[in-house]
């Protein structure tokens, strides 16, 4: 039981591990009213937890708190993510939020989460010397708050966070789970938890959920407090006793002496884990299942503690106790400490660290011996090893961690000098004798687990301590007995031994012997009160009977020394005068009686049987008497002993047989003479025997002396021979020392040379390999391990061709190494490009040489991967620059001709449209006018394409759903591509919105679909597909985009495809793979210009003869789609109006055309041939002007300046810009802001519709 200690932050297991019994019920009432499952995870744990939540029923009655390692600088989206996996409410934890059943709570970023009184508490994230351990922190608080209703679950993650928390929950009586290694993406955290020995279930996530659902309905979890295993007539008490008996037989530990409530609750916990309903069934399980028996024993012997637990008490030791212990102490006087109940050793090492720190601070030094004991052999094994997980850093300062610990695999190890100060041993406080002559005993949180036998342990501690020694108890344990100890520090439970106790305390050996006897007999333990009363009554009866009726007795050893006297022996024994001796010959005054008794003792020891003599004469104060003496041999471990019993006769036989009338004085003298003669004869016989024995002894001594002299001569001779051998050995030793010195010098030189060589190799930045003649790796430098992400254990001794999964097994390397081994000629500049499992694809330049005298090969590698990537990026940049320069040149050309061409084309198309309407009924003329109009439209399209691929057109973007554009194409594509091509449309149902110019995007899609049609002359499948995608940083970087949300529009065909050479030029202007006259080479360049000007990119993939796919990426926006307007097809159907319009246009033909169009649909139109004339008209005209329609590029004063001046004069004036020019950057910015704009060329119907839209608009159409 010595090991039942609790971790820092959870002093005892709530509801059962608190100190005084009176506090238990109160603590039970303070526990959380509902069970709480604390689930911790790190890397790879989120997906696992989502699976667990999906399998977990929503009515378990427990609250679930998820603690995930989060990046402190990023806002957590855990609650939103997890809410999709369960129908239970998912809440982000907030300070003061009370947990409720059937709800999920998640930790926010950059905080520490705890639970107190069923309420979640948040605190700023602590900065500890080691790693941040939020899971340990929460689980410790959960153990303290919920006790047996706490559940800990450790899922996938790196590190050891959660292992300490699992121990705390197990110590509190809660249940613990860990994810199995097979299903965990990162199994380190679950493995660390399992290594503590405190995990009840190791399962995959779905089975963890099933077990949580099952256990949630068990009384141990579902009821608060859990239903105790109460006594039932003829039932549970007997079963409980049977279980304790099974435990006692298996472990030798009598758990009936421990606190019954604690033992019963631990057994109930095992019933919950094993789905067992009653004690009888569990008793059968224990008898048949050794593994369950061991598990129950471990549950009852909880080994949980921590470094520097209760630091205030430890500081009191350092400031108050250590100075008194070390005052006036001799330098060689060892400080002796006993840590009772040391568990896995943290307490013992803590005291060792404190002593060493105190020695350093005060400048003193004493030898220290710390005895640390525990009943749990597994815990003792861990303590001796001194290895602890990485999360102990949360209990230690960085200075202590650096000073007293060494970093080891997966944690830390106590330094060797501290381990040597501590002696760990298995020890049972209730049965084994204590250590002795101790200066300090630390026994914290051990006595609280014991029942009524606590009173036996404190006298044991008193016995073990030196005078004025100190005792340190736990905060929850009762004060030490007042007659044994004095309070030194009541707050920190420190006591000092009384120099003189108020009453005698018997060492409790007899009680322990009684316990062992009871255990061997498999009998139920008798209560302490009954044992005391029965034993005391029997002793009292025995004392009265012996005092009245037993004879006088003396116990002597084989040397006749008196060991004990019983009864009234003073008639036969008396103390002599002078120096006191307890030899029997000195105590029996009557020499004759002594001689008789001596013969009796010798006979009894020789035969081993009792010997009795009657009517032995003795004299007492001048009066003769008779007695019977019996010698009884006694068995003893060390010396043979004899019990002498003296029984006086009531009346001497001689006096009874004397004849009547005979003189009593004469008779007395005769008796005296007879007795003296008898004694004289016996003395003579004794003297002769002694003389013969002396002579025999003398002869034996003479013989022994002669043998000793002979042996001495032999020893002298042997000594001389040894002296000679010693001189020879000394000479040989001197020679060996000389040879050894030479070897050491050579070894030092070799070590120095090797270190020098290694230092050179390690400073080389290029990876180096040393191989033997079988191509096995002898060594490698750190650059090699860094480059290929390997360790020396993975590489050294292995064949090169098996390294990294066979990545080095390349024909060119085999050929080069074979040639190097045969010829010895080095090779250089061997270029290799290969994929390595951990390092990725690498480009290497390898060189090798042969070290002949060592029979080794040296390989040097230059990693040129980054250099090649830089060269490739530079090449791509140059290509991109070349393409940009080409586009810029074409753009300048397009921009230069666009204005004049568009003015002319607007006039041609406009008059053709008007003439077409006027010639209705004259089919031949209408057809001819239609041809003129079509030619103008084709010319306008060519101009527009030039502007598009050169990014010179003015876009009018709107928020829209691309699915609408695709569906519009669906209606005309089937007619456009013909019956041989199957058209498939796949639209994402909930497509995100984009902000683009619908007309330009439509133009791009049309170009792509026409190219796809032309690529399938024999038919095939044309697919248009939209989708939502979210690009990561890595994915976006490859496409030259920013990470985020995008809408994709893909156009795929199963046509002839093209190769990589064509792919490199596919977007260049005037590049085409079609036959002469079949294409202009502007189609894909136009698409690229439209997409890039819309903020997107286009990607192309193709396989010759198989397929081609173009994918457009456009940024998604969180805005509602704009409502579109329906384009009118003819002027007759165009909307009309009566407002006043000022038309400013420097091209006379175009101005006249526009005026005729607007007047034909009802508007009042005033003209201005340039901007200055228009501004003057605005200033002088007294009537209303509702709309300004102005060209952008005009002599003297441009359209933008005209609009600015007109708006100053007439603030309510609306403006519509028209232009075929694209160089006005300010205009582009204005259009982006919403300015009304109409691109030349336009049709009469489009102009009329745009004017109506502008007049009806409520926005500021000037774009300011």
Of 32, 172, 38, the C-alpha closest to 116 is 32
Of 539, 537, 565, the C-alpha closest to 551 is 565
Candidate from 600-614, 676-690, 1179-1193 with smallest mean pLDDT: 676-690
Res 745: pLDDT: 67
Residues belonging to the chain: 1264
List domains and CATH numbers for the chain: 22-222 (3.40.50.180), 236-300 (1.10.155), 311-507 (3.40.50.150), 511-544 (no CATH), 550-655 (3.30.450.20), 764-863 (3.30.450.20), 962-1117 (3.30.565.10), 1131-1256 (3.40.50.2300)
Question: Where does the pLDDT of residue 287 fall: very low under 50, low under 70, confident under 90, or very high at 90 and above?
Answer: confident
First to last CA, the chain: 85
Which residues are known to be catalytic?
42, 69, 161
Choice between 572 and 325, residue whose per-residue pLDDT is larger: 325
Distance CA 430, CA 816 (A): 76
Cβ density class 117-135: b for 16+ within 10 Å, e for less:
ebebbbeeeeebebebbbb
Res 897: pLDDT: 62
Q: Residue 29: is its pLDDT beyond 70?
A: no
Q: Residue 12: is its pLDDT beyond 50?
A: no
3 state SS of 395: helix
Helix (H) or strand (E) holding 594, with range, is helix 591-607
**Cα atoms found within 13 Å of the Cα of residue 1132, Cβ hemisphere only:** 7
Candidate from 214-228, 956-970, 1111-1125 with smallest mean pLDDT: 214-228
Distance CA 258, CA 1145 (A): 107
Residue 1048's DSSP bridge partners are 1027, 1113
Cβ proximity of 1202 and 1188 under 8 Å? yes
Question: Where does the pLDDT of residue 956 fall: very low under 50, low under 70, confident under 90, or very high at 90 and above?
Answer: low
Asked whether the bond before 225 is cis by omega within 30 degrees of 0, the reply is yes
Candidate from 277-286, 675-684, 988-997 with smallest mean pLDDT: 675-684
Left if phi > 0, otherwise alpha if psi is -120 to 50, otherwise beta: which for 661?
Answer: left
Question: Where does the pLDDT of residue 541 fall: very low under 50, low under 70, confident under 90, or very high at 90 and above?
Answer: low
Q: Residue 1129: is its pLDDT beyond 70?
A: no
- What is the pLDDT averaged over residues 970-998? 82
The token duo for 1161 is 């649909």
- What is the pLDDT averaged over residues 1232-1261? 78
Q: What is the pTM of this model?
A: 0.40
- What is the pLDDT averaged over residues 180-188? 89
Give the phi and the psi of residue 1150 in degrees, each rounded to 5: -70, -35
Res 97: pLDDT: 93
Express each pLDDT in 810-849 by its tens digit: 888 888 888 888 888 899 888 888 888 888 888 899 989 9
Choice between 147 and 941, residue whose per-residue pLDDT is larger: 147
Q: Residue 726: is its pLDDT beyond 80?
A: no
Compute CA 631 distance to the chain's CA centroid, rounded to the nearest angstrom.
Answer: 76
Question: Where does the pLDDT of residue 223 fall: very low under 50, low under 70, confident under 90, or very high at 90 and above?
Answer: low
Distance CA 390, CA 396 (A): 11
Question: Where does the pLDDT of residue 335 fall: very low under 50, low under 70, confident under 90, or very high at 90 and above?
Answer: very high
Distance CA 630, CA 624 (A): 20
Candidate from 171-175, 268-272, 730-734, 931-935 with smallest mean pLDDT: 730-734
Q: Residue 7: is its pLDDT beyond 60?
A: no
Asked whether the bond before 1227 is cis by omega within 30 degrees of 0, the reply is no
Q: Residue 801: is its pLDDT beyond 50?
A: yes
- What is the pLDDT averaged over residues 976-996? 86
Res 527: pLDDT: 42
Residue 713's DSSP bridge partners are none
Kindly tell me the sign of the dihedral angle through the C-alpha atoms of 442, 170, 105, 76: positive
Name, of 124-133, 267-276, 739-748, the range with top average pLDDT: 267-276
Express each pLDDT in 1092-1113 by its tens digit: 878 888 888 888 888 899 999 9
Q: Residue 1246: is its pLDDT beyond 90?
A: no
Res 230: pLDDT: 45
Question: Where does the pLDDT of residue 1253 fall: very low under 50, low under 70, confident under 90, or very high at 90 and above?
Answer: confident
Q: Residue 946: is its pLDDT beyond 60?
A: no
Kindly tell me the sign of the dihedral angle through the C-alpha atoms of 481, 482, 486, 488: positive
**Cα atoms found within 13 Å of the Cα of residue 515, Cβ hemisphere only:** 19
Distance CA 1156, CA 1134 (A): 14
Interaxial angle between packed helices 1244-1256 and 865-918, expressed in degrees from 0 to 180 and rounded to the nearest 10: 100
Q: Residue 659: is its pLDDT beyond 60?
A: no
Residue written as tokens 């501004």?
A: 1175
- What is the pLDDT averaged over residues 107-126? 88
The token duo for 641 is 């002993």
Residue written as tokens 């004991």?
A: 373
- What is the pLDDT averaged over residues 123-144? 80
Which residues does 1045 contact at the CB level (< 8 Å), separation at least 6? 992, 1028, 1029, 1030, 1115, 1116
The token duo for 1002 is 């439509």
Cβ proximity of 745 and 751 under 8 Å? no
The percent of residues in the chain predicted with pLDDT above 70, rounded, is 77
Res 358: pLDDT: 92
Res 737: pLDDT: 67
Choice between 1130 and 13, residue whose per-residue pLDDT is larger: 1130
Distance CA 119, CA 99 (A): 6
Express each pLDDT in 1016-1039 by its tens digit: 888 899 899 999 998 887 677 666
Name, of 157-171, 280-294, 963-977, the range with top average pLDDT: 157-171
Name, of 533-537, 734-738, 1031-1035, the range with top average pLDDT: 1031-1035
Question: Where does the pLDDT of residue 528 fall: very low under 50, low under 70, confident under 90, or very high at 90 and above?
Answer: very low
Compute CA 527 distance to the chain's CA centroid, rounded to the nearest angstrom.
Answer: 48
Distance CA 1222, CA 899 (A): 8
Rg (CA), the chain: 53
Kindly tell me the sign of the dihedral angle through the C-alpha atoms of 573, 576, 580, 585: negative
Choice between 426 and 65, residue whose per-residue pLDDT is larger: 65
The token duo for 195 is 């290594």
- What is the pLDDT averaged over residues 23-41? 65
Choice between 477 and 630, residue whose per-residue pLDDT is larger: 630
Mean pLDDT over all residues of the chain?
78
Res 100: pLDDT: 92
Express each pLDDT in 401-415 by its tens digit: 989 999 887 788 999
The token duo for 624 is 């003769």
Cβ proximity of 919 and 929 under 8 Å? yes
Cβ proximity of 929 and 912 under 8 Å? yes
Cβ proximity of 393 and 304 under 8 Å? no
The token duo for 1149 is 């033909």
Q: Residue 529: is its pLDDT beyond 70?
A: no
The token duo for 298 is 């471990």
DSSP H stretches of helix in 75-171: 78-83, 134-146, 163-171
């Amino acid at each position: 039981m010595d090991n039942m200690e609790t971790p820092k932050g959870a002093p005892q297991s709530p509801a059962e591990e608190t100190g005084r019994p009176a506090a238990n019920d109160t603590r039970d009432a303070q526990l959380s009213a509902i069970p709480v499952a604390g689930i911790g995870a790190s890397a790879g744990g989120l997906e696992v937890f989502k699976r667990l939540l999906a399998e977990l029923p929503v009515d378990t009655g427990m609250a679930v708190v998820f603690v995930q390692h989060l990046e402190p600088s990023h806002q957590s989206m855990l609650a939103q993510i997890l809410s999709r996996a369960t129908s239970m409410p998912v809440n982000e934890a907030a300070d003061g939020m009370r947990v409720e059943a059937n709800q999920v709570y998640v930790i926010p970023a950059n905080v520490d989460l705890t639970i107190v009184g069923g309420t979640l508490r948040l605190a700023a994230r602590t900065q500890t010397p080691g790693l941040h351990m939020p899971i340990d922190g929460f689980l410790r608080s959960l153990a303290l708050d919920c006790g047996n209703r706490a559940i800990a679950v450790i899922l996938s993650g790196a590190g050891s966070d959660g292992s300490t928390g699992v121990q705390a929950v197990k110590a509190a009586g809660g249940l613990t789970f860990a994810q199995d290694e097979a299903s965990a993406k990162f199994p380190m955290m679950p493995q660390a938890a399992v290594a503590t020995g405190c995990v009840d279930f190791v399962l995959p996530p779905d089975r963890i959920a099933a077990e949580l659902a099952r256990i949630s309905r068990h009384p141990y979890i579902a009821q608060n407090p859990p239903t105790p295993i109460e006594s039932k007539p003829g039932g549970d008490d007997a079963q409980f006793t049977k279980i304790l008996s099974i435990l006692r037989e298996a472990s030798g530990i009598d758990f009936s002496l421990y606190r019954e409530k604690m033992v019963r609750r631990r057994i109930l916990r095992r019933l919950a884990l094993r789905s067992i309903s009653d004690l009888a069934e569990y008793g059968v399980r224990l008898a048949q299942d050794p593994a369950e028996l061991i598990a129950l024993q471990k549950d009852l012997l909880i080994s949980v503690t921590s470094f520097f637990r209760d630091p205030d008490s430890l500081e009191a030791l350092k400031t108050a106790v250590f100075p008194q212990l070390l005052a006036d102490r001799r330098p060689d006087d060892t400080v002796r400490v006993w840590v009772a109940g040391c568990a896995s050793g943290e307490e013992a090492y803590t005291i060792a660290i404190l002593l060493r720190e105190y020695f350093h601070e005060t400048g003193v030094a004493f030898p220290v011996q710390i005895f640390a004991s525990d009943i749990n052999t597994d815990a003792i094994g861990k303590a001796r090893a001194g290895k602890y997980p990485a999360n102990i850093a949360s209990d230690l300062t960085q200075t202590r961690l650096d000073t007293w610990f060494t970093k080891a695999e997966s944690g830390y190890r106590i330094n060797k000098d501290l381990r040597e100060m501590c002696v760990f041993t298995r020890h049972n406080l209730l049965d084994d004798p204590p250590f002795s002559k101790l200066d300090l005993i630390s026994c914290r949180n051990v006595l609280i687990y014991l029942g009524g036998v606590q009173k036996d342990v404190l006298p044991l501690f008193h016995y073990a301590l030196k005078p004025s020694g100190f005792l340190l108890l736990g905060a929850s344990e009762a004060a030490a007995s007042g007659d044994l100890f004095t309070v030194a520090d009541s707050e920190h439970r420190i006591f000092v031994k009384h120099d003189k106790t108020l009453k005698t305390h018997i060492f409790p050996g007899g009680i322990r012997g009684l316990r062992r006897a009871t255990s061997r007999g498999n009998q139920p333990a008798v209560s302490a009160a009954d044992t005391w009363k029965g034993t005391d009554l029997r002793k009292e009866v025995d004392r009265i009977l012996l005092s009245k009726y037993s004879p006088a007795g003396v116990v002597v050893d084989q040397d006749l020394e008196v060991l004990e006297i019983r009864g009234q022996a003073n008639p036969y024994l008396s103390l002599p005068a002078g120096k006191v001796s307890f030899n029997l010959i000195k105590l029996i005054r009557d020499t004759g009686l002594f001689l008789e008794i001596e013969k009796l003792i010798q006979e009894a020891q020789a035969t081993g049987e009792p010997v009795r003599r009657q009517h032995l004469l003795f004299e007492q104060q001048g009066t003769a008497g008779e007695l019977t003496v019996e010698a009884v041999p006694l068995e003893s471990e060390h010396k043979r002993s004899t019990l002498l019993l003296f029984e006086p006769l009531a009346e001497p036989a001689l006096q009874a047989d004397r004849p009547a009338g005979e003189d009593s004085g004469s008779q007395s003298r005769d008796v005296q003479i007879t007795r003296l003669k008898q004694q004289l004869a016996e003395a003579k016989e004794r003297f002769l025997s002694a003389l013969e024995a002396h002579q025999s002894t003398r002869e034996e001594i003479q013989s022994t002396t002669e043998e000793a002299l002979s042996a001495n001569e032999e020893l002298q001779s042997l000594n001389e021979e040894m002296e000679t051998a010693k001189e020879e050995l000394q000479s040989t030793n001197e020679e060996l020392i000389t040879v050894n010195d030479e070897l050491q010098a050579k070894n030092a030189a070799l070590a120095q040379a090797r270190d020098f060589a290694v230092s050179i190799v390690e400073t080389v930045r290029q990876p180096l390999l040393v191989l033997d003649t079988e191509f096995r790796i002898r060594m490698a430098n750190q650059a090699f391990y860094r480059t290929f992400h390997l360790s020396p254990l993975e590489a050294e001794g292995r064949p090169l061709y098996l390294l990294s999964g066979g990545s080095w097994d390349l024909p060119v390397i085999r050929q080069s190494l074979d040639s190097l081994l045969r010829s010895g000629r080095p090779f250089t500049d061997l270029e290799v490009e290969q994929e390595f499992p951990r390092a990725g694809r690498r480009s290497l330049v390898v060189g090798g040489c042969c070290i002949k005298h060592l029979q080794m090969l040296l390989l040097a590698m230059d990693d040129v991967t980054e250099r090649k990537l830089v060269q490739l990026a530079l090449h791509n940049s140059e290509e991109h620059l070349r393409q940009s320069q080409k586009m810029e040149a074409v753009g300048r050309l397009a921009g230069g001709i666009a204005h004049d061409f568009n003015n002319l084309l607007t006039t041609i198309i406009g008059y053709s449209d008007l003439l077409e309407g006027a010639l209705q009924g004259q089919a031949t003329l209408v057809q001819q006018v239609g041809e003129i109009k079509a030619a103008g439209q084709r010319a306008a399209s060519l101009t527009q394409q030039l502007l598009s691929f050169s990014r010179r057109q003015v876009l009018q973007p709107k928020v829209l759903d691309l699915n609408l554009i695709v569906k519009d194409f669906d209606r005309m594509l089937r007619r456009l591509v013909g019956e041989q091509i199957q058209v498939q449309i796949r639209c994402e149902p909930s497509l995100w919105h984009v902000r683009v110019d619908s007309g330009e995007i439509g133009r791009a899609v049309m170009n792509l679909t026409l190219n796809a049609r032309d690529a399938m002359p024999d038919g095939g499948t044309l697919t248009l597909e939209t989708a939502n995608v979210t690009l990561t940083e890595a994915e976006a970087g490859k496409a030259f985009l920013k990470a985020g949300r995008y809408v994709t529009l893909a156009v795929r065909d199963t046509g002839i495809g093209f190769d990589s050479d064509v792919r490199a030029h596919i977007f260049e202007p005037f590049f085409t793979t079609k036959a002469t006259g079949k294409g202009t080479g502007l189609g894909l360049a136009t698409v690229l210009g439209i997409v890039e000007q819309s903020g997107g990119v286009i990607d192309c993939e193709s396989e010759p003869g198989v397929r081609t796919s173009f994918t457009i990426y456009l940024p998604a926006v969180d805005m509602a789609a704009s409502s579109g307007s329906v384009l009118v097809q003819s002027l007759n159907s165009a909307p009309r109006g009566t407002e006043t319009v000022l038309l400013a246009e420097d091209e006379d033909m175009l101005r006249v055309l526009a005026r005729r169009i607007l007047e034909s649909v009802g508007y009042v139109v005033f003209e201005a041939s340039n901007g200055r004339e228009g501004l003057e008209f605005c200033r002088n005209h007294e009537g209303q002007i509702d709309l300004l329609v102005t060209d952008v590029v005009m002599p003297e004063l441009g359209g933008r300046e005209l609009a600015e001046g007109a708006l100053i004069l007439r603030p309510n004036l609306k403006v519509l810009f028209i232009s075929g020019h694209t160089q006005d950057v300010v205009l582009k910015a204005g259009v982006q802001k919403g300015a009304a704009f109409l691109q030349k060329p336009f049709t009469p119907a489009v102009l009329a519709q745009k004017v109506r839209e502008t007049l009806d608009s409520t926005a500021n159409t000037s774009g300011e």
